[in-house]
Amino acid sequence: LPFAPSVPEHLTETELAEACRRGNARAFEHLYQVHSGRMKSLAFHLLGSRADAEDTVQEAFLKVCRAARGFEGNSSLSTWIYRILINCCYDAIRKRQRLAENPAPVDFRAETNVPLKVALQRALNALNERQRMVFLLFEVEGLRHSEIATILEVPEGTSRSWLFEAKSHLKRMLTEAPK
């Protein structure tokens, strides 16, 4: 985009949001550079596929570009972007569920030689969507409960509760012997 005005490297989030609202292509590029890595990581953890994560992040950024003029600044720009990403991930999960047969539940605890990383991934996959989402946003992405609550559009106490439930389920799944 040779004719797009350049964007200074050290914009505040408010300035970047305003540049995006004006449709500045360089601002969108900068936004993508700043957030895409973390977004891909989160999408990968939620979807379990690098290809699906890439596609979902691309879809989320398309929606960000289309909706930028309507961003009102009621939350931070990054929180708004993550809300869009989470919605895109939900859409991808729902689409996958419609297309897939119901798989039989896997009892990964019965496999005693499974490396911890594999066991943890299986345990994360066994959590319900909301617990997995809060766990990943808090523990993996390092977001605060106030940010998670805004992204997921729930009260902050609900975010804390879901994280507690997730940790309890993970502990139980990773430590209890199969019955």
Contact (Cβ atoms closer than 8 angstroms) between residue 141 and residue 135: no
Q: Residues 90-112: pLDDT tens digits?
A: 888 888 777 765 544 545 444 55
pLDDT score recorded for residue 165: 95
Residue 9: pLDDT band with limits 50, 70, 90: low
pLDDT score recorded for residue 86: 92
121 pLDDT higher than 90: no
Mean pLDDT confidence for 63-67: 90
Bigger pLDDT: 123 vs 115: 123
- CB atoms near residue 169 (< 10 Å): 18
Amino acid at 83: R
Q: What is the dihedral of CA 37, 160, 153, 77, to 10 degrees?
A: -40
**Helix ranges restricted to H, the chain:** 13-21, 25-47, 50-67, 77-99, 116-126, 129-135, 145-152, 156-175
pLDDT score recorded for residue 1: 39
Answer yes or no: pTM beyond 0.85.
Answer: no
Mean pLDDT confidence for 63-84: 87
Mean pLDDT confidence for 136-159: 90
Q: Which of 166, 161, 156 is nearest to 136 (CA)?
A: 166
